Chains A and B, each alone.
Chain A
């Protein structure tokens, strides 16, 4: 079949498909119409608020005049590739968020283990305390870090009183450690949440058998529990890393480490206004997150990395 003919056939097939969906005569076609109707509102919003703006971002990144979106130019991409600042920002982001992810997932495993395996007193309170920070935006996390580790912070002043050093020297809220704590503060609850879901599905009989056969706690955990919760750890890592990449409010207020979200904000600030570069960074960032998520999804179920 020649190309135009096959194209015509495809067009005809699509037209039939659309018309039977719009005016169904069989039950199967009616079901298809229902699915289409049910998905339509979401698609409409995703198109207006998601796909079109993303397409605009692509256009912005290759515009010669990024304010009025006119002309074509690859300047933004060239800047991104050649200037070492951007490579440094990328590396800063990856190692910092990666480290925060590892710490958060390890802590998450411990918390989930205790919540699901031990009879904790005040379990509901612990659950509430651990899930509470999920609702806090980055900006409030930063305010809390300042309240604890800032110059007037509680921890700073307590240590200063004990050791006799000046509180101003001790304040670490706007040092990188303070920012790291802020990241972990936001990420531990998310990791814990995913891991609790996995723990709840693990069969405890194998653990009991291992223990009664004389394995120590560590041997039981390492050889029996860990293989079973591995999908949960993978899911928690994906989710935590992705959430960590998206953190903006915390780093905007504390300003102690130059990560990608902060760079995007700087590119559109007064003085260094370069929206085309900002758009290019944003695109690289989105493509990275999407690729990372889809590679991760090959190993875990979709609904485990959802939030």
Chain B
């Protein structure tokens, strides 16, 4: 929309409405005098700067803490207003476990990433088929199932509480975490794959493959699924990244070594220095930034399931 092009206003009241005038270029003549002020309305003058100001503020509030944290992980000290003493890799060495410090984040992060990978793979197995069924077929209670599959109805805290009581032996194990992460993050996978399927002519694709002699399972596995690979990839990245730093469910479920990444951060908020913590958090920032870069590359709008058409 040509939002910055000021509409031309002509304060003419004597001319009647020209029936042939078009509402596209501002050549419309109006009989209502009140609509033709001599100068632009207040909102026309301040509206855009105001919105831009709000947007700038929001972007600053959202990004400055992240940038400052990342930058100060390379500083020697953070007393005073700005962090000082650049550039040191001491805190990164501590966090990456090269300094033999207790702040080594790598074991916890590796554990979290391994669990997240398990949850991601399980999500492909459960998410892709149901996304296909929900997009391709009409059936009884389809809408209910759709809601169940794409709206996360149970919060992680409550699920974690229930999980430990239900499975006292396996609930706290890696297997329990994988199952929990998979269920909690499955909506992201179902959604991204669904939007991939929605952009394809599934019926025609399926019929072509079937009429060429492929069995139905073969059609699904070698024709349908490869066509949705972008959606599946996007879903994998999102579920994996989110599961890697999941806290709510993990905190309720987990009991000790190695602490998953987010729980490790929580336990070390009091005994680590600010710079060490900044470095630990920055490790995850780097992970998210790479995830966003890949997602934008394959056509997603940043870290969301919404795709640019």
Contact = CB atoms under 8 A, between A and B. Distances in A.
B52 interface: yes
A52 to B, nearest CB: 6
Contacts of A200: 309
A135 B241 contact: yes
Given A132-B62, A161-B81, A197-B306, A53 B301 contact: no
Contacts of B161: 57, 264, 268, 275, 278-279, 282
Contact of A48 (B125, B179, B241, B288): B179
A128 to B, nearest CB: 5
B153 A134 contact: no
Contacts of A60: 162, 165
Interface string B264-290: 011001000010011001001000110
A69 B165 contact: yes
A8 interface: no
B226 interface: no
B16 interface: no
A189 B54 contact: no
Nearest to A200: B309
Nearest to A207: B1
Contact of A307 (B30, B42, B179, B305): B305
Interface of A is mostly: helix
Interface string B11-48: 00000000000011110101000011000111110011
A193 B306 contact: yes
B59 A126 contact: yes
A39 B281 contact: no
A60 B78 CA distance: 48
B28 A46 contact: no
A1 interface: no
B182 interface: yes
Interface in B72-103: 72, 78-82
A204 interface: yes
A38 B133 contact: yes
B81 to A, nearest CB: 4
A11 interface: no
B30 A107 contact: no
A144 interface: yes
Contact of B69 (A144, A253, A297): A144
A138 B248 contact: yes
Contact of A42 (B3, B30, B130, B167): B130
Interface stretch (A78-86, A94-102, A113-121): A113-121
A135 B35 CA distance: 47
A140 B292 contact: no
Interface of B is mostly: helix
Given A38-B130, A212-B24, A213-B23, A302 B79 contact: no
Contact of B147 (A133, A140, A246, A302): A302
Contacts of A54: 154, 162
Contacts of A111: 54-55, 58-59
A149 to B, nearest CB: 9
Nearest to A34: B216
B216 A305 contact: no
Contact of B153 (A41, A204, A289): A289
B21 to A, nearest CB: 10
B189 to A, nearest CB: 10
Contact of A45 (B72, B122, B147, B251): B122
Contact of A39 (B28, B130, B156): B130
B30 A213 contact: yes
Contact of B251 (A52, A221, A248): A248
A297 B147 contact: yes
Interface of A: 31-32, 34-35, 37-42, 44-46, 48-50, 52-54, 56-57, 60, 69, 107, 110-111, 113-115, 117-120, 124, 126-140, 143-145, 147-148, 152, 154, 157-158, 161, 181, 185, 188-189, 193, 196-197, 200, 204, 207-209, 211-219, 221, 245-246, 248-249, 252-253, 261, 264-265, 268, 275, 278-279, 282, 285-286, 289-290, 293-294, 297, 302-303, 305-307
23 contacts: A31-B137, A39-B133, A53-B163, A107-B58, A111-B59, A114-B51, A117-B3, A132-B303, A134-B303, A135-B245, A139-B262, A143-B69, A147-B69, A189-B62, A193-B304, A217-B44, A264-B157, A265-B157, A278-B161, A293-B151, A293-B153, A302-B143, A303-B191
Given A49-B179, A138-B248, A217-B47, 11 more contacts: A41-B125, A44-B126, A110-B55, A117-B3, A132-B288, A152-B274, A193-B306, A216-B44, A246-B156, A248-B156, A261-B248
